[in-house]
Amino acid sequence: MSAVTQSSDAICKKPSAGSKPFLHSNPVTDLVGVVSLFFMNGGSGSSAVRFPPQIGETTRLVDISGLSDIGCVRTNNEDRFHIDTQLGICLLADGMGGHGYGEIAAAIAIEVSYQFLLSSRDLFDVTWPFGYDPGRNLDENRVANAIQLANRRIWSAVENVPKYAGMGCTLIVATLVDDRSVIGTVGDSRVYLLRNGQLHQLSVDDNWVADLVRKGQITENDARSHNMRNVLTQAVGTHHDLDVHTREQLLLDGDVLLLATDGVYGEVDEATMRSILYSYPDSHAAAAQLITAAKQAGAPDNATCIVVAYRRENSL
């Protein structure tokens, strides 16, 4: 299910000194279009899918929820996300380009990448429009081709419609297969892993300031307040060719993945994000608290996140 949300300004404020936004227990009731799916269970709440074990294996339960909020300043939401719990697909895009065209780019990216992931499930009938990289595994190639295809589709739209010039988006494509997640990213939307109470960034930021940090020219602390921190070095739709970042991540019992736009992680520091994900094992509750924290920090941008909680249970 894809979702776009609107919000009120009820919690758009800076938290008072010493307050802890992640401890607020009231749900974000002003969000519309919340992804709340139960696979095989029905009802409302967080999305969940249980993978039945084979003999000698363990049941795997994946609990997934996504939320998107317009924020406290913007007049439209250019973020898009899509979750397919049955197939284990999570997609997130943050549009850019102004005049509402960013949301068009984000929507194209989500639709095109999702359709490629669907069509490439049949390994005997799959084609690789951007080639097969032997340095990547099969699922990494699927993810990379999905992102490249989305990029070319947006690039073509810009060429054919002059007013679309400059539109593009960040894109995260994540698949869940057994006890693995394969992640592909372009732009500065991020993927984090919470494991044993520690938060680790899995994705690579495609922005000018991150390049300076990687080159050792500035520190990570300097990067947080740098006036060029939002300048992207690549985005989906703005370059004819992309350098797609992919990785495979083994998932352990209790791991939590967080997919987030800069409207979330740019306003909520990593210590608070870690505390929220650790304190709220239910994916929907965790996502709601992250959005609440972003809005309490002022939320100058749209704020969108997907939380994936991985559990292993019922050893046979």
Other beta carbons within 10 angstroms of residue 25's beta carbon come to 7
Q: Please check whether residue 241 lies inside any domain of the structure.
A: no
Range of the domain at 260: 2-204+246-313
Other beta carbons within 10 angstroms of residue 36's beta carbon come to 17
Q: Please check whether residue 218 lies inside any domain of the structure.
A: no
**Which strands make up the sheet holding 198-201, listed edge to edge?**
47-51, 59-69, 303-313, 256-260, 190-195, 198-201
pLDDT band of 52, cuts 50, 70, 90? low
Q: Please check whether residue 84 lies inside any domain of the structure.
A: yes
Of the chain, the percentage scoring pLDDT greater than 90 comes to: 68
Please report the pLDDT score of residue 294 as a whole number. 98
Chain centre to alpha carbon of residue 49? 19
What's the 3-state SS for 236-297?
ECCCCCCCCEEEEEECCCCCEEEEECHHHHCCCCHHHHHHHHHHCCCHHHHHHHHHHHHHHC
pLDDT band of 291, cuts 50, 70, 90? very high
Domain count, the chain: 1
The answer to whether the beta carbons of residues 200 and 153 sit under 8 Å apart is: no
How far is the C-alpha of 32 from the C-alpha of 9, rounded, in Å? 14
- Residue 54 has what DSSP assignment? P
Is the per-residue pLDDT at 24 higher than 90?
A: no
Q: Please check whether residue 293 lies inside any domain of the structure.
A: yes
pLDDT band of 56, cuts 50, 70, 90? low
pLDDT band of 57, cuts 50, 70, 90? low
Please report the pLDDT score of residue 125 as a whole number. 87
Residue with tokens 């693995």: 180
How far is the C-alpha of 169 from the C-alpha of 108, rounded, in Å? 10
Could you tell me the two tokens for 105? 């780019």
Please report the pLDDT score of residue 51 as a whole number. 52
Q: Please check whether residue 283 lies inside any domain of the structure.
A: yes
Global pTM value:
0.85
Q: Please check whether residue 230 lies inside any domain of the structure.
A: no
Q: Please check whether residue 212 lies inside any domain of the structure.
A: no
- In this prediction, residues 213-231 reach a mean pLDDT of 72
Q: 303: domain CATH number? A: 3.60.40.10
Q: Please check whether residue 211 lies inside any domain of the structure.
A: no
The answer to whether the beta carbons of residues 121 and 215 sit under 8 Å apart is: no
- Tell me the helices (H) and strands (E) count for the chain, helix number first: 7, 12
Is the per-residue pLDDT at 207 higher than 90?
A: no
Give the least confident one: 32-36, 65-69, 141-145: 32-36
How far is the C-alpha of 42 from the C-alpha of 37, rounded, in Å? 7
How far is the C-alpha of 3 from the C-alpha of 286, rounded, in Å? 17
pLDDT band of 218, cuts 50, 70, 90? confident
Please enumerate in sequence order all residues whose Cβ is within 8 A of that of 198, keeping only pairs 6 or more positions apart, or say none.
274
How far is the C-alpha of 22 from the C-alpha of 33, rounded, in Å? 22
